[in-house]
């Protein structure tokens, strides 16, 4: 992964005058989803690319080492070998971008991936995921422990109450401390946009998170009632663009939650392409947090290659 975002000094003038018009963003979101479509080999290639953006995730209360191991092998072999061969893509080393687990499962994941003989990074959620309603001290400790266990990416959740009460400096300071606790690991900051109240808040929180040194900003935990939506994404992408124009730093973007179909994945790729351009279409700058998306993509690839719709048992589970 690329070098860290070192962040900048807190500059509240970057957010004080921001205006986000909700209905206009909704219209743009509607348009951008319908505007472009890719078909045939373009679709197949785009879907394979989408696989390389996936943070293959399991965040369940009943996660154990066995299903984490299964997940890790699926991350290493996301698409059936013969299908890749048919597309002449078998030598491209297509894997998912990372696997994403709870802190307590990081060790299992690291072990499984090592056994599979690959260096796919392990991402861990942290800081009182998903609500973030624990003491700062324990949240920081959680990050350190996950890093110690071998996680190289940390998905932290922000303290929503700081956003809703407009305590931007406190939010900046907290994320700064997360950054420090991460050490060499990458910091992915979950804004939990479904709980921020307005799109203007989404923009402001995005900007603060980037100033504080986040390598990625991420839409949601997947546990809120509203997850990754296009309008929210548009606002976050515009913030990323503004931050790039101001500092020259490219910050990554990760939608998560509710992205289940191959068609959704294509729409997300198209959105990134339209709003940020091709430079952002690489795993260093774009991730999709998903658990069931991969199997739908594999089914579509299967259909593209064979011309038939796959049965449930035709494709190996994760």
Partner 1 sequence: MAAATRTAPRAREIFTTLEYGPAPESHACALAWLDTQDRHLGHYVNGKWLKPEHRNSVPCQDPITGENLASCLQAQAEDVAAAVEAARTALENWSTLPGARRAQHLTRLAKMIQKHQRLLWTLESLVTGRAVREVRDRDVPLAQQLLQYHAVQAHTQEEALAGWEPMGVIGLIVPPTFSFLEMMWRICPALAVGCTVVVLVPPASPAPLLLAQLAGELGSFPGILNVISGPTSLGPVLASQPGVQKVAFCGAVEEGRALRRTLAGQGLELSLALGAESLLLLTEAADVDSAVEGVVDATWSDRSQVFQAGDVPSDSPFYPPTLISDLPPASPCAQTEVPWPLVVASPFRTAKEALAVANGTPRGGSASVWSERLGQALELGYGLRMGIVWINAHGLRDPAVPTGGCKESGSSWHGGPDGLYEYLQPSGTPARQPSLSENLNYDTFGLAVPSTLPAGPETGPSPAPPYGLFVGGRFQAPGARSSRPIQDSHGNLHGYVAEGGAKDIRGAVEAAHQAAPGWVGQSPGARAALLGALAAALERRESALAARLERHGVELKVAKAEVELSVRRLRAWGARAQAQGHTLQVAELRGPVLRLREPLGVLAIVCPDEWPLLAFVSLLAPALAHGNTVVLVPSGTCPIPALEVCQDVATLLPAGLVNVVTGDRDHLTRCMALHQDVQALWYFGSVQGSQFVEWASAGNLKPVWVNRGLPRAWDQDAEGAGPELGLRAAQTKALWLPMGD
33 or 247: CB nearest partner 1: 33
Interacting residues with partner 1 between 274 and 303 (CB under 8 A) = 278, 281, 302
Closest CA relative to residue 211, chosen from 186, 179, 181 = 179
Q: How far apart are CA 302 and CA 288, in angstroms?
A: 21
Secondary structure of 126-171 as H, E, C letters: ECCCCCCCCCHHHHHHHHHHHHHCCCCEEEEECCHHHHHCCCHHHH
Active-site positions read 218, 254
- Interface with partner 1 (CB under 8 A), residue from 8, 67, 198, 247: 198
Closest CA relative to residue 286, chosen from 224, 218, 234 = 218
Smallest gap, in angstroms, from Cβ of residue 283 to partner 1? 13
Q: How far apart are CA 24 and CA 21, in angstroms?
A: 6
38 or 118: CB nearest partner 1: 38
> Does position 10 bind partner 1 by CB under 8 A?
no
Interacting residues with partner 1 between 14 and 33 (CB under 8 A) = 19-28, 31
Q: Which residues, in sequence order, are CB contacts of 286 under 8 Å at separation 6+? A: 53, 252, 253, 254, 272, 280
Residue with tokens 């394979």: 48
- Does residue 76 contact residue 116 with C-beta atoms inside 8 Å? yes
Interacting residues with partner 1 between 73 and 102 (CB under 8 A) = 80, 82-83, 85-89, 92
Interacting residues with partner 1 between 128 and 167 (CB under 8 A) = none
Smallest gap, in angstroms, from Cβ of residue 238 to partner 1? 5
> Does position 200 bind partner 1 by CB under 8 A?
yes
Binding-site size, partner 1 (CB under 8 A)? 49
Tokens of 203: 């923009």
Interacting residues with partner 1 between 30 and 59 (CB under 8 A) = 31, 34-42, 44-46, 48-49
DSSP state of 56: E
27 or 114: CB nearest partner 1: 27
Smallest gap, in angstroms, from Cβ of residue 257 to partner 1? 22
Q: How far apart are CA 271 and CA 230, in angstroms?
A: 8
Stretch of residues binding partner 1 (CB under 8 A), selected from 66-74, 152-160, 180-188, 196-204: 196-204
Q: How far apart are CA 56 and CA 101, in angstroms?
A: 9
Tokens of 59: 């965040």
Smallest gap, in angstroms, from Cβ of residue 131 to partner 1? 24
Residue 173, by phi and psi: left (phi above 0), alpha (psi -120 to 50) or beta?
Answer: alpha
10 or 87: CB nearest partner 1: 87
Q: How far apart are CA 163 and CA 183, in angstroms?
A: 25
10 or 86: CB nearest partner 1: 86
Smallest gap, in angstroms, from Cβ of residue 117 to partner 1? 23
50 or 107: CB nearest partner 1: 50
| Interface positions with partner 1 (CB under 8 A) | 19-28, 31, 34-42, 44-46, 48-49, 80, 82-83, 85-89, 92, 198-200, 238, 269, 273, 278, 281, 302, 304-308, 314
């Amino acid at each position: 992964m690329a070098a860290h975002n070192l962040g900048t000094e807190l500059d509240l003038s970057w957010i004080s005058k921001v205006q986000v018009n909700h209905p206009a963003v909704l219209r743009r979101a509607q348009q951008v989803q319908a505007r472009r479509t890719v078909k045939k080999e373009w679709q197949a290639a785009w879907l394979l690319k989408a696989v390389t953006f996936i943070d293959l995730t399991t965040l369940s209360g009943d996660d154990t080492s066995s299903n984490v191991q299964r997940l890790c092998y699926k991350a290493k072999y996301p698409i059936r070998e013969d299908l890749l061969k048919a597309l002449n893509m078998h030598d491209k080393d297509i894997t998912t971008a990372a696997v994403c687990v709870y802190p307590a499962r990081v060790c299992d994941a690291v072990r499984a991936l090592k056994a599979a003989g690959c260096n796919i990074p392990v991402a861990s959620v942290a800081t009182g995921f998903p609500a973030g309603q624990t003491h700062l001290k324990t949240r920081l400790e959680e990050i350190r422990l996950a890093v110690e266990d071998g996680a190289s990416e940390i998905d932290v959740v922000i303290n929503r109450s700081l956003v809703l009460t407009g305590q931007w400096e406190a939010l900046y300071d907290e994320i700064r401390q997360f950054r420090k606790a991460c050490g060499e690991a990458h910091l992915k900051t979950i804004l939990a946009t479904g709980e921020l109240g307005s799109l203007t808040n989404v923009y402001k929180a995005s900007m603060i998170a980037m100033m504080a040194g986040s390598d990625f900003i991420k839409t949601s935990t997947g546990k809120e009632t509203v997850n990754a939506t296009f309008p929210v994404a548009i606002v976050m992408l515009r913030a990323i663009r503004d931050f790039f124009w101001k500092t020259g730093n490219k910050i990554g973007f990760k939608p998560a939650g509710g992205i289940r179909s191959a068609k959704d994945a294509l729409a997300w790729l198209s959105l990134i392409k339209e709003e940020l351009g091709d430079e952002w279409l690489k795993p260093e700058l774009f991730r999709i947090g998903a658990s069931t998306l991969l199997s739908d993509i594999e089914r579509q690839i299967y259909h593209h290659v064979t011309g038939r719709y796959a049965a449930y048992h035709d494709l190996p589970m994760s």
